[in-house]
């Protein structure tokens, strides 16, 4: 699937944190995180109002403990589309 931008996702024990070169957002659940991403995209001015933007959120598996990585090497990826 194609995406307009990519976000690196982790969970710091309390919140989901999404990192991009231009912004970082954090929220206790993924719905709120998505809303914050949408607001960040609107605020960036990079995309005209009304445009449809697809964001790829890939979970950074390096945030898992080292001992666990030998069992599995992927958490989840997520494609979210917004109409700004």
Partner 1 sequence: MASVNRKWYDGMLTSEDWWAVWLGLIMFFAGMLTIWDIDLVGWMAKTKTWEWSRFWADPGWDKLLAASHGKAGKAYEGLGGFGALIVTYLVFAVLTAIGAAFQKLDVKKFVAGFACIFFITWAAWVVGHEAHFKALKTGQSITQSQIWGDDLYCLTKVHKCTALINKTAARLGVTDVLEAGAQEGAAPAAVAAAREAAAKVLADKKVKKKTIRMSWGLQLGGGFSYMLALAVGLIIGNFIKGFAGFLSEAAKPEWFIKTAIVYLGIKLGLMTMKATGFAVDLALSGAAATFVAYLMFWPIVYALGRKAFKLRRDASAVLASGISICGVSAAIATAGAIRARPLLPIAVSMLIVVFAMLELVALPTFYAAVAPHEPIVNGAAMGMTVKTDGADAAAGAILDEMMVAGHFRSTGELWESDWVLSAAILTKIWIDVFIGVWAFVLALIWVYKVERSPGEARVGASEIWFRFPKFVLGYFVAWFFYVGIAVWFPEAIKAASAGAKVVQSPMRKMMFMLTFVAIGVITDFSKLKGMGRLAILYAIALFGIIAPIAYLVAWIFHRGLVPPVVAGS
Contact assessment for residue 54 and residue 2, using Cβ atoms and an 8 Å cutoff: yes
DSSP secondary structure letter of residue 72? -
Residue 78 as a binder of partner 1 (CB under 8 A): the answer is yes
State which of residues 5, 26, 80, 84 lies at the interface with partner 1 (CB under 8 A): 80
Contact assessment for residue 82 and residue 38, using Cβ atoms and an 8 Å cutoff: yes
Residue 31 as a binder of partner 1 (CB under 8 A): the answer is yes
Give the C-alpha separation, 81 to 72, whole Å: 28
Residue 2 as a binder of partner 1 (CB under 8 A): the answer is no
Residue 60 as a binder of partner 1 (CB under 8 A): the answer is yes
Residue 44 as a binder of partner 1 (CB under 8 A): the answer is no
DSSP-based three-state secondary structure for 60: coil
Which residues of this protein are in contact with partner 1, per CB under 8 A? Answer: 1, 6, 8, 11, 13, 30-31, 34-35, 37-38, 56, 58-82
């Amino acid at each position: 699937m194609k995406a307009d931008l990519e976000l690196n996702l982790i969970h710091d024990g309390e919140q989901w944190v999404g990192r991009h070169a231009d912004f970082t957002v954090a929220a206790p659940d993924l719905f709120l995180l998505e809303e914050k991403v949408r607001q960040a995209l609107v605020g960036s001015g990079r995309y005209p109002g009304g445009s449809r933007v697809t964001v790829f959120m890939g979970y950074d598996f390096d945030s898992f403990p080292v001992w666990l990585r030998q069992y599995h090497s992927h958490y989840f990826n997520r494609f979210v589309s917004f109409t700004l």
